[in-house]
Amino acid sequence: MSTSEQPKNTQFHDYHIEAGGKMVPFAGYSMPINYPAGIMQEHLHTRDAAGLFDVSHMGQVIIRGANAAEQLEKLMPLDLNQLACNNMTYSTLVNEEGGILDDLIITRWDEQTFFVVVNAACKVQDIQHFRDHLSGTEIIELEDQGLLALQGPLAVDVLATIAPEVADLHFMQGRSIHIENCPCYVTRSGYTGEDGFEISIKPQDCSAVVDALLENSSVHWVGLGARDSLRLEAGLCLYGHDMDQQTSPVEASLLWSINKSRRTGGPKQGGFLGSQAVLNHIDQGASKKRVGFMVEGRAPVREGAEIVDQQGNIIGAITSGGFSPSLQKPIAMGYVNTEYSTLGTTVNAMVRGKSRPLVVCSMPFVPQQYYRG
């Protein structure tokens, strides 16, 4: 966004102002980074109760057509025949060189219709990418659609009070429901590591739905700051930081997101953009890998810090780092040469000319609470 452009407002902008949100420009929108309680309390409230996030800045796209599944499989390493109606999956859009254009969530609404949620900063390029590469499909951007994420251990109790059928959903399932007589599409998903839901809402219905949620005293607004610390504790990537067009899904430790049928020897081997490079990384190994780190001391290690071995040789870089409110200690993730990616390996981060010990650890840093039934 150029300096001359004014950020857009989401459907919930007035609510953020009324709640005392500190508004900042983010991905072309005016978004709350935090509220008066502060990032730490918003983070802990989400872990303990129910945090409400405005994620309407993200792109919501409907892709439909008789051959929509076949067309989408040209762009991402999925086997969409394995995805049942009202089920969803995480995936990456891969470029010709095997790098990641974006990560996304794709939900199958019916045999011919898919609902795709993409990152805010990438949505213009993603939608153009779909238009450039998908033939025989209809591509509809839901430009003014509201999107709320209700996250935390009390999220299901809150939402089931006004829409009882959501309690039947398992993690990565969705369904069309009515909230306050407003048609919504609800998925049991989110990017915090907690149980929770994302609610897609028509523009004219946003106020009625959010009012119903905010009537519950367990629900507090949460801003971008805590959203970032929550996803870091969950070991989840932030596009443009922990992965980009120079990083393959294998290097990003996202091998689990590549359907086995699309790998070497599978019935649908390759066939997606960049597949040769991605399959080479799977079969022959990649030279770098995303890993988690526990950081010695109390001070965080931030994005951009170089990672060095015990002899001072640069072997990688931090891509996300901060203080974990849940663990009360600093954590980070980043890339290292693959030979340094073994759990328990000790390396160092260079911070203002001084070395800070890091220990490679498993992720997520905080146990996931997804409801799998």
- The confidence band for 1, taking pLDDT boundaries of 50, 70 and 90, is very low
Give the pLDDT confidence score for residue 4 in this predicted structure. 53
- The confidence band for 342, taking pLDDT boundaries of 50, 70 and 90, is very high
Contact 104, 126 (CB under 8 A): yes
**No. of helices (H) and no. of strands (E), the chain:** 8, 19
The pLDDT tens digits for 12-30 are: 999 999 999 999 999 999 9
Q: How far apart are CA 244 and CA 238, in angstroms?
A: 9
CB-based contacts of 259-268 (< 8 A; 24+ apart in sequence): 259/77, 259/78, 259/79, 259/82, 261/79, 261/82, 262/73, 262/77, 262/78, 262/79, 268/73, 268/79
The pLDDT tens digits for 233-265 are: 999 999 999 999 999 999 999 999 999 999 999
Structure tokens at 367: 């146990």
Give the pLDDT confidence score for residue 219 in this predicted structure. 98
Give the pLDDT confidence score for residue 365 in this predicted structure. 98
Average pLDDT, the chain: 97
Q: Which domains does the chain have, with CATH numbers?
A: 13-56+145-233 (3.30.1360.120), 57-139+248-286 (3.30.70.1400), 287-373 (2.40.30.110)
Under DSSP, is residue 66 helix (H, G, I), strand (E, B) or coil?
coil
Q: How far apart are CA 126 and CA 107, in angstroms?
A: 16
Give the pLDDT confidence score for residue 300 in this predicted structure. 96
- Global pTM exceeds 0.95: yes
Percent above pLDDT 90 for the chain: 98
Under DSSP, is residue 221 helix (H, G, I), strand (E, B) or coil?
strand
The pLDDT tens digits for 148-181 are: 999 999 999 999 999 999 999 999 999 999 999 9
The pLDDT tens digits for 77-120 are: 999 999 999 999 999 999 999 999 999 999 999 999 999 999 99
Give the pLDDT confidence score for residue 252 in this predicted structure. 98
Cβ neighbours for 67, distance < 8 A, ≥ 6 positions apart = 136, 137
Q: Where are the beta strands (DSSP E) in 205-310?
A: 219-221, 288-295, 306-308
Contact 231, 238 (CB under 8 A): yes
- Decide if pLDDT at 138 tops 50: yes
- Decide if pLDDT at 269 tops 70: yes
Helix (H) or strand (E) holding 61: strand 59-64
The span from the first CA to the last CA of the chain, in angstroms, equals 43
Q: How far apart are CA 30 and CA 24, in angstroms?
A: 5
Mean pLDDT of 216-243: 98
Give the pLDDT confidence score for residue 2 in this predicted structure. 43
